[in-house]
Amino acid sequence: MPVANDRGVMRLGRNGDRVSPPTPQKRRKGWFVRDLIILSIVAVALFLFLMQGLAFLRTREIDRRILVQIPEGAAFGEIAGTLEAAGLVSDMQRFRLAAQILDMDEKLQAGAYEFGPRYSELELLLALSQGEVATRRVTIPEGYRIEQIAVLLEGAVGLDAEEFVRLANDPEVVARLRFHAPSLEGYLYPDTYRVELDMEEMAAIEMMTWETSNIFERYTAHAESMGMSMHEVLTLASIIEAEALFDRERPRISAVYHNRLDTGHRLEADPTVRYAKGVYHRKLYYSDLRFESPYNTYRHSGLPPGPIGSPGISSIRAALYPLAGSDEFFFVANGDGTHTFTRTFSEHVRARERIAAARHAEPEGPEFSLDDGGSE
């Protein structure tokens, strides 16, 4: 007769023999083996997961910086493929899993990115999700003209110099930016910028002109009290910028020009002739001074039609705050970056003769200028 086991169910062997139920000790041994296998599998999985995590977090070193371009609208797979092809990601599946876990797989942004010489895949993923595109530190020197700024930006970040110049001289662009000027000459504020490697030409122009507007805003009331518009201040400041090497002389040079403007004298500023002729690295001769251009302040009274370069803050302030009480109308370059200032033309001539004698210089040809050659 079958014998009931501990659950009340009879267990028989194949031959009808009674089978004894497993003892508690045997059951514990079976459970131990099963649990050990499960624990081992979990441990291996955790180990592998940990190793993948450490690989994702590990800082890598490469011998150069790598630039990658992520196109607009690119899917995650395309982005990961680009990174893998560049040698920045060693395991696409791990990179994808990490992005999904961190909820960043749908947040990667387009742009030009640069990585190295030290980086981790986590840093790479964070940069892409936060749009930390590659930039270059670019300094626009005071006095630079549109063409010079364009060439500088082209060399630094690959911007199209020709397109930059075209936009900066486009009347529609000037009007859209709400400036009343023939071009954006003088409105591209000289400063140090962090420029994105894939920044478009118009974006660069907007960045620099915004800075000019922001700088000038604090002086608007004072300019109006002087009867000067923003355009007139920038125009005069650009001439001062071209003339002065030392900040201490800028208010004094400004005073000379203000005195000339107030009394109806022509400015007779060499830098305006240089700008009109596009000649920047030689002395001016009488023939140059006769060159017909609205920018030639030897032939036309008042300020030229617009700035002749990008003035810095020191020149802008000098244009707004000329040296008080000055009655000087002339200055001549001493040859060391400084100038000799005089009240009358006869004093000016004597100063020029004295400086020429001190230099032991023979004139290269008949020349005459207000400052004996301007600032260059």
**CATH code of the domain containing 69:** 3.30.1490.480
Lowest mean pLDDT segment, chosen from 27-41, 72-86, 246-260, 344-358: 27-41
Same domain assignment for residues 93 and 198: no
Does the pLDDT of residue 3 top 80, yes or no? Answer: no
Is 21 inside any structural domain?
no
Is 29 inside any structural domain?
no
Greater confidence (165 vs 2) lies with 165
Q: Which residue has the tokens 């990490």?
A: 98
Q: Note whether 183 and 169 are within 8 A (CB).
A: yes
Same domain assignment for residues 147 and 180: yes
- Tens-digit pLDDT profile for residues 261-272: 999 999 999 999
Compute CA distances 163 → 159, 194, 334, whole Å.
8, 20, 40
Does the pLDDT of residue 40 top 80, yes or no? Answer: no
| pLDDT bucket at 358, cuts 50 / 70 / 90 | confident
Number of domain units in the chain: 3
Does the pLDDT of residue 174 top 60, yes or no? Answer: yes
Same domain assignment for residues 232 and 348: yes
- Helix (H) / strand (E) element for 345: namely helix 345-359
User: Pick from 283, 371, 282, 301: which is nearest to 329 by CA?
Assistant: 371
Same domain assignment for residues 144 and 178: yes
Does the pLDDT of residue 369 top 50, yes or no? Answer: no
Is 254 inside any structural domain?
yes
Q: Is 331 helix (H, G, I), strand (E, B) or coil?
A: strand
Is 178 inside any structural domain?
yes
How many other CB atoms are found less than 10 A from the CB of residue 49? 11
| Average pLDDT over all residues of the chain | 84
pLDDT of residue 46: 52
How many angstroms separate the CA atoms of 261 and 177, rounded? 29
| pLDDT bucket at 367, cuts 50 / 70 / 90 | very low
Is 258 inside any structural domain?
yes
User: Pick from 116, 104, 102: which is nearest to 79 by CA?
Assistant: 104
Same domain assignment for residues 242 and 355: yes
Name residue 248's amino acid: R
Same domain assignment for residues 180 and 125: no
pLDDT mean over 78-85: 87
Same domain assignment for residues 122 and 158: no
Distance between the two ends of the chain, CA-based, in angstroms? Answer: 122
Is 23 inside any structural domain?
no
Write out the two tokens for 240.
Answer: 């001062």
Q: Domain end: 196, 217, 238, which one?
A: 217
pLDDT of residue 27: 56
pLDDT mean over 46-65: 59
Same domain assignment for residues 125 and 144: no
Same domain assignment for residues 271 and 334: yes
Compute CA distances 89 → 63, 66, 78, 173, 254, whole Å.
16, 12, 13, 42, 59
Same domain assignment for residues 204 and 149: yes
Q: Domain end: 217, 240, 263, which one?
A: 217
Same domain assignment for residues 123 and 140: no
Is 22 inside any structural domain?
no
Does the pLDDT of residue 206 top 80, yes or no? Answer: yes
Compute CA distances 146 → 57, 172, 206, 241, 361, whole Å.
46, 17, 14, 15, 34
Does the pLDDT of residue 234 top 90, yes or no? Answer: yes
Quick one: how far is CA 16 from the chain centroid?
92
pTM as predicted: 0.75
pLDDT of residue 376: 34
Same domain assignment for residues 328 and 349: yes
Is 201 inside any structural domain?
yes
Domain extent for 156 = 135-217
pLDDT mean over 130-153: 93
User: Pick from 340, 320, 318, 317: which is nearest to 330 by CA?
Assistant: 340
Q: Domain end: 154, 186, 217, which one?
A: 217
